[in-house]
């Protein structure tokens, strides 16, 4: 890693959400914004907004998944705003689906919120939400799949909602659960559900006859981002866990949990399978492996500085401050696009 000047600031980007604007929420240190990932055997070019907007001119890019997909989209929005101010053209009532347009480039940037990719309903007991979901692993959530025919670049990010108590269904039948502890219900663990959800999503893309993708007669450009692990210390999110470090881990300090590594492996396995199948019909699958790089950045989370008035005392050690380490994901994105589109052309 090395220090570096910022692409944007907490004041120059008007679209930074309040919960990610860590300095505005009182974070006293600033060094976390200046560290930059440096690969060992190659050079990672700096982000260039004009370059990426030229690559995606006339196209539509969608970030599909959980709130970390939204987090990356918000970073990209700030990075691109240095070249052109985007127009906010759509927001649903829950602010789960959002669309921005860069008029000069006719580039559409979307976020499609789906916690599980598959169809899920929350369990409600006596009118009270339980936070536990019934996941139908063989049935996708149509709220995002209906947009696929209009998407050129689909960037997937979905894991964290599987790491809680949920119930798993196939063919309408309960087959097991995740961390439920119910007598007579097999605990299949989050890995099983994550694998099945990504299988269903990627199979759907590879079987989508209406999807035209980045060029006529070709398919969709699909990018899978691997797990960015939570980094709570001294407890979990609801038991006093914190993330108050002010510097990255050194290499000898880095520890990646067994479950985190297992989930990353599952994601890569499903990506490789989908890439082989997708090649047959023109879909391009690429991987953005951020797991190790982000595990070195416990200093980059909002922690206590996320401005939530209703959850005082809780820390956010999952999402990333803006500006912050997550901007690196979009440096990766630009380099992936640069390499693949130059091969494609």
Distance CA 160, CA 185 (A): 22
Residues 6+ apart with CB under 8 A from 233: 241, 242, 243, 298, 317
Distances (CA, A) of 119 to 50, 84, 95, 175, 327: 38, 36, 19, 15, 30
Distance CA 18, CA 302 (A): 11
Active site residue 316: yes
Q: Can you state the angle between helices 67-81 and 327-344, rounded to 10 degrees?
A: 80
Instruction: Answer for the pair 227, 264: CB distance below 8 angstroms, yes or no.
Output: yes
User: Any long-range contacts for 141-147 (C-beta under 8 Å, 24+ apart)?
Assistant: 141/114, 141/116, 141/117, 143/97, 143/112, 143/114, 144/62, 144/64, 144/112, 144/114, 144/117, 145/204, 147/62, 147/110, 147/112
Radius of gyration of the chain (CA): 20
Burial 40-71 (b: 16+ CB within 10 A, else e): eeeeeeebbbeebbebbeebbbbbbbbbbbbb
Partners of residue 197 on adjacent β-strands? none
Task: Please identify which of the residues 66, 299, 316, 327 carries the catalytic annotation.
Answer: 316
Instruction: Answer for the pair 261, 226: CB distance below 8 angstroms, yes or no.
Output: no
Task: Please identify which of the residues 75, 301, 319, 327 carries the catalytic annotation.
Answer: 319
| Sheet of strand 97-102: strand arrangement | 87-91, 97-102, 107-113, 60-65, 153-157, 221-225, 284-288
Task: Please identify which of the residues 67, 143, 212, 218 carries the catalytic annotation.
Answer: 67
Distance CA 147, CA 118 (A): 15
Distance CA 161, CA 69 (A): 13
Catalytic residue numbers read 67, 316, 319
């Amino acid at each position: 890693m090395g220090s570096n000047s910022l692409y944007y600031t907490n004041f120059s980007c008007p679209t930074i959400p309040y919960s990610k604007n860590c300095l505005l929420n009182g974070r006293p240190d600033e060094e976390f914004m200046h560290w930059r990932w440096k690969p060992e055997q190659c050079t990672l070019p700096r982000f260039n907004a004009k370059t990426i907007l030229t690559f995606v001119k006339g196209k539509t890019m969608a970030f599909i998944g959980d709130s970390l997909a939204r987090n990356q989209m918000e970073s990209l929005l700030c990075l691109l705003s240095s070249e052109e101010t985007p127009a906010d053209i759509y927001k649903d009532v829950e602010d789960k689906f959002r669309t921005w347009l860069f008029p000069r480039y006719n580039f559409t940037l979307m976020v499609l919120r789906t916690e599980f990719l598959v169809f899920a309903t929350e369990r409600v007991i006596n009118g009270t939400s339980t936070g536990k979901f019934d996941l139908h692993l063989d049935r996708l959530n149509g709220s995002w799949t209906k947009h696929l025919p209009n998407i050129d670049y689909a960037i997937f990010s979905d894991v964290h909602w599987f790491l809680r108590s949920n119930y798993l269904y196939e063919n309408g039948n309960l087959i097991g659960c995740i961390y439920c502890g119910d007598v007579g219900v097999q605990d299949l663990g989050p890995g099983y559900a994550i694998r099945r959800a990504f299988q269903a999503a990627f199979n759907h893309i590879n079987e989508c006859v209406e999807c035209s993708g980045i060029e006529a007669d070709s398919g969709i450009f699909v990018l899978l981002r691997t797990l960015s692990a939570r980094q709570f210390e001294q407890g979990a999110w609801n038991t006093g866990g914190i993330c108050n470090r002010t510097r990255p881990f050194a290499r000898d300090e880095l520890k990646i949990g067994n479950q985190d590594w297992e989930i990353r492996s599952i994601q890569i396995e499903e990506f490789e399978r989908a890439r082989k199948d997708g090649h047959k019909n023109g879909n391009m699958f690429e991987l953005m492996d951020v797991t190790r790089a982000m595990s070195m950045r416990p200093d980059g989370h909002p922690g206590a500085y996320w401005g939530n008035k209703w959850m005082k005392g809780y820390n956010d050690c999952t999402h990333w401050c803006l500006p912050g380490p997550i901007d690196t994901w979009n440096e990766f994105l630009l380099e992936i696009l640069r390499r693949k589109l130059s091969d494609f052309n």
